[in-house]
Amino acid sequence: MSSPATQQPSPQLFFQTINAHQRTEALKSAIELEIFTAIGEGNTTAPEIAKRSAASERGTRILCDFLCIMGFLGKQDNHYSLTPDSAVFLDKRSPAYLGGATEFLLSPMLTDGVKSLTEAVRKGGTAMSDEGTVAPENPIWVKFAQGMAPMMIMPAQAIAALVDPEGNRKLKILDIAAGHGVFGIAFARNNPQAEVVALDWPRVLDVAKENASKSGVADRYNTIEGSAFEVDLGTGYDIVLLTNFLHHFDPPTNETLLRKVHAALSDGGQAVTLEFVPNDDRISPPETAGFSLMMLSGTPAGDAYTFSELERMFTNAGFTSSVIHPLPPGFEQVVISKK
């Protein structure tokens, strides 16, 4: 190894980062053109893939090479192949297909926020409008519900198994900002005695109810329409799910909600929170800590909270204890807080 003093300065990281937007667009194009599905179906050369994707051979060759460079494809003697991860997540025929998530993750509502990042840094919150993505009935959450379900099935099953390992006692569950409904549905599937109340905007609940029907739990699935901050949550819940919700708001707003959640829980009940929880340094783990930037660009005052910050919010709202659990292989963690 050369000593630091002899290392030449390199603009490599600058270049890679300035060009990083190309990676996003290349993956988006590959999904739109169904390149991964084409290869999964047995089209392995640029001419074959081009034909299947109704694209030019030259454009297909350059895009496929770029997908190799990024690690989404392999290439051997001008034959392209899916990596194991691409076969699972990017071939449309796979049950774990994630391509639909781009409809939410790259929706103009989110990318416009990122594009006005400089203004957001100046202002200290989203530059899009006063409320950004958390505006009432923002249609982005319908896209979220439609696109993000496949990505959440694995973590949802893991959370249900963690919180309700026996899966055989009567449970009443409130799923706040249910979205696609996948978290509450996982509890219902895991436990035939679990009843779920899903709360969200009406158009979002249509997606959750459809997913509940498909999963065969519609008879144990009820809904409350509206904002968790405004509606009556009801009482007597054993579990309240707060999945990817608290990061949209500042701590005082969260504490207001958590007091409502506390009141809605039965004695011995628990709040189950799924969040991007960075370490106290706020820069690790990278993907987890980096989520903060999305909240700066998209919300007035949201953040990726450390465990001690979350713990403080729950304590201030009356909860007696909070415990954090990892949830590999994702970037999020589960915090279980007892009433």
Restricting to residues 308-337, which ones interact with a second copy according to CB under 8 A?
328-331
Least spacing, CB of residue 53 vs a second copy, in Å: 8
97 binds a second copy (CB under 8 A): no
Residue choice 92, 103, 106, 210 for contact with a second copy (CB under 8 A): 106
Separate counts of helices (H) and strands (E) for the chain: 16, 9
- Which residues from 20-49 bind a second copy, rule CB under 8 A? 20-29, 32-33
Nearest by Cα to 64 from 90, 92, 102: 90
Q: How far apart are CA 339 and CA 335, in angstroms?
A: 13
Strand pairing class (171-176; 194-200): parallel
| Closer to a second copy by Cβ: residue 79 or 214 | 79
68 binds a second copy (CB under 8 A): yes
Least spacing, CB of residue 223 vs a second copy, in Å: 29
SS3 sequence of 317-334: CCCCEEEEEECCCCCCEE
Residue choice 159, 182, 296, 313 for contact with a second copy (CB under 8 A): 296
Nearest by Cα to 337 from 281, 282, 246, 269: 269
75 binds a second copy (CB under 8 A): yes
Strand pairing class (321-326; 265-275): unpaired
231 binds a second copy (CB under 8 A): no
Determine how many CB atoms are found less than 10 A away from the CB of residue 69.
12
- Which residues from 181-200 bind a second copy, rule CB under 8 A? none
| Closer to a second copy by Cβ: residue 126 or 337 | 126
- Which residues from 107-126 bind a second copy, rule CB under 8 A? 111, 114-115, 117-118, 120-125
Residue choice 38, 39, 82, 90 for contact with a second copy (CB under 8 A): 90
Type of residue found at 96 = A
79 binds a second copy (CB under 8 A): no
Determine how many CB atoms are found less than 10 A away from the CB of residue 195.
19
Residue choice 3, 6, 54, 170 for contact with a second copy (CB under 8 A): 54
Q: Where are the beta strands (DSSP E) in 255-300?
A: 265-275
- Which residues from 257-286 bind a second copy, rule CB under 8 A? 281-284, 286
